[in-house]
Structure 1
Amino acid sequence: MRSKNLLQFATLVVLALGLVVSGCSKKAPETVQQEVGAEEGAGVSESLDTMDTGIMEGRTSGPMVPVYFEFDSSEIVGEQVQRIQTNADFLNGNPGVQVRIEGNCDPRGTQEYNLALGERRAQSAKSYLTRLGVGAERLSTISFGEEKLLIFGHDEISYAQNRRDDFVIIK
């Protein structure tokens, strides 16, 4: 019974968040343009140094992006290589920034297994960033396993969104 109530609550939270996010998406470009001080009607071109460091995708602090993983893997491959390179470029251009790498998993597997897999994913990203010139002392890791799902569906698209590392700026 408790599981059913929890599932209903989680579904309501996801629906509410979906409404909030979809209702606010049209205002962001206008806000960026005003913050940058661009002239009316002119295009806005920003470097990574001047971009807002709010949440951009997943729980990652912008302008960094999360890195996604294949099922049961902690290897950074394919298009995810460019995503971690984007994060390395930002960090190398902003030497005062410290980041917490948060390893996440989809809900399949045991809690213990997913915590270990999330840790391997976070450590993999940390190792990759250090090979790209980011100082290891600026990077910390934590595993949330399956505890901080973004999507609560039980399909491959939902699972894929939850298999990720988030990069959160620590102030």
Structure 2
Amino acid sequence: MSSKKMLHLATFVVLVLGMSLTGCSKKTAMTAPQMNASEGAGVPEPLETEENGIMEGRTSGPMVPVYFAFDSSKIEGEQMQRIGINANFLKSNPNFNVRIEGNCDPRGTQEYNLALGERRALSAKKGLIALGVQPDQLTTVSFGEEKLLLLGHDEISWAQNRRDDFVLIK
């Protein structure tokens, strides 16, 4: 085979391989709900929540999550207003129960983050009770770094992961 034919054949193979690897169709952006376990998002799990929708984070609407500073379980500033929103909702709905889920960003050890998530959940519970919510409406759990919303390694992602979620339970 001549060198010219070999060059054409090699070019053809490269083009075919290139097209098969890149594809020609328009691809949609991958969002968290579309990801599967093989892509690092974890396995979907049932949460036994009321079917009234998730508004922000993993919090059941119309409640809102509470966010924390790095390495802190103290509820500060506008986050106190968020506790107030949740307290008003729960006081208006005394038959509803909520699970307060403490979450952390992925920095720190697993044990440390579980303890910090617990302190965060207990801090929110204490704040809700101080505003008149009945203690028997509230349970707490710490997920530490196990339920990340954003998988990035930047301050925006970490800030979104440092939160308490308020999930209505049956």
Secondary structure of the equivalent of 1:107?
Answer: coil
AA aligned opposite 1:155: D
TM-score, reference length from structure 2: 0.72
Give structure 1 regions of 4+ aligned residues with deviation exceeding 2 angstroms. 14-20
Q: CA deviation at 1:92?
A: 0.5
* RMSD over equivalenced CA pairs, Å: 1.7
Query: CA-to-partner distance for each residue in 1:96-125, whole Å, 9 max, x for gaps?
Result: 000000000000000000000000000000
Spell out the pairing of 1:48-67 with structure 2 (5 A cutoff).
53-67=52-66
- Report the equivalent of 1:157: 156
> C-alpha separation between the residues in 2 aligned to 1:111 and 1:19?
27
TM-score, reference length from structure 1: 0.71
> C-alpha separation between the residues in 2 aligned to 1:62 and 1:138?
16
AA aligned opposite 1:129: L
Query: CA-to-partner distance for each residue in 1:32-89, whole Å, 9 max, x for gaps?
Result: xxxxxxxxxxxxxxxxxxxx83111000000000000000000000110111100000
Spell out the pairing of 1:72-83 with structure 2 (5 A cutoff).
72-83=71-82
Q: CA deviation at 1:17?
A: 2.8
Secondary structure of the equivalent of 2:150?
Answer: coil
Spell out the pairing of 1:103-114 with structure 2 (5 A cutoff).
103-114=102-113
Spell out the pairing of 1:1-171 with structure 2 (5 A cutoff).
15-17=30-32, 53-171=52-170
Structure 2, unaligned stretches of length 5 or more?
1-28, 36-50
AA aligned opposite 1:16: T
Q: CA deviation at 1:139?
A: 0.2
AA aligned opposite 2:127: Y
AA aligned opposite 2:32: L
- Report the equivalent of 1:46: none
What is the number of residues matched between the two proteins?
127
> C-alpha separation between the residues in 2 aligned to 1:135 and 1:65?
18
Bigger radius of gyration: 2
More helix by share: 1
